[in-house]
Amino acid sequence: MKASLPVLPTTPAVPATTVHPLWLRMTHWINALSVVIMIASGWRIYNASPIFPFVFPREWTLGGWLGGALQWHFAAMWLLAVNGIVYLLLNLLTGRARRKFFPLRPAEILRDFVQALKGKLQHASLDHYNAVQKLAYLSVIADLVLIVISGLAIWKSVQFPLLRDLMGGFDNARIVHFFAMTFLVLFIVVHIVMVALVPRTLLAMLRGR
């Protein structure tokens, strides 16, 4: 008579939860592509007429020459503007913006920021943003809007005198555009570091689950 093997308890399968819908993932990656093109071509445009006493390494730039960089920059600008509008509208119409980013309270930002500095900020659920994440994402959205507005004030300075005056003139618009771009680059660096620390956030943005 054969001895029966013990029956091990089975763990019920946990159903996959949709964290990021398809429209969000598509607009996210299109935004990412357009931003990278704009930054690299923008550095080449900057090198043609530097504001500050430094230039970016040519290997970091896109376009090869000023005319080519401008073409890449404007093409990416329209892609970013149209895709960004779609992203914002869908976030508002689906209620995702309200659910994900609000409420946002100063006390919660301070608490989560201190926890992040201590390395104790938890990422238990990818479906929920902590206060620091909310502030970061809202800030980069506002920064992208500023980049587009200041870019229009530089590109069409005569056609958009109101934008030019809001920026404090053509030269100041270039400075605003530069520092808005710098903030965006810093956000991307921090974002990549955070993704490296929590790799499942990248999987969620690729697979949606």
Structure tokens at 106: 């100063």
The whole model's pTM is what? 0.82
Number of other CB atoms surrounding residue 142 within 10 Å: 12
* Rounded Cα–Cα distance for residues 68 and 121 (Å): 44
Residue 204 has pLDDT above 90, yes or no: no
In this predicted structure, what is the pLDDT of residue 157? 86
Residue 115 has pLDDT above 90, yes or no: no
Structure tokens at 76: 């990416």
Summarize the confidence of residues 182-209 as an average pLDDT. 85
In this predicted structure, what is the pLDDT of residue 125? 65
| DSSP percent split of the chain into helix, strand, coil, nearest 5 | 70, 0, 30
* Rounded Cα–Cα distance for residues 72 and 67 (Å): 9
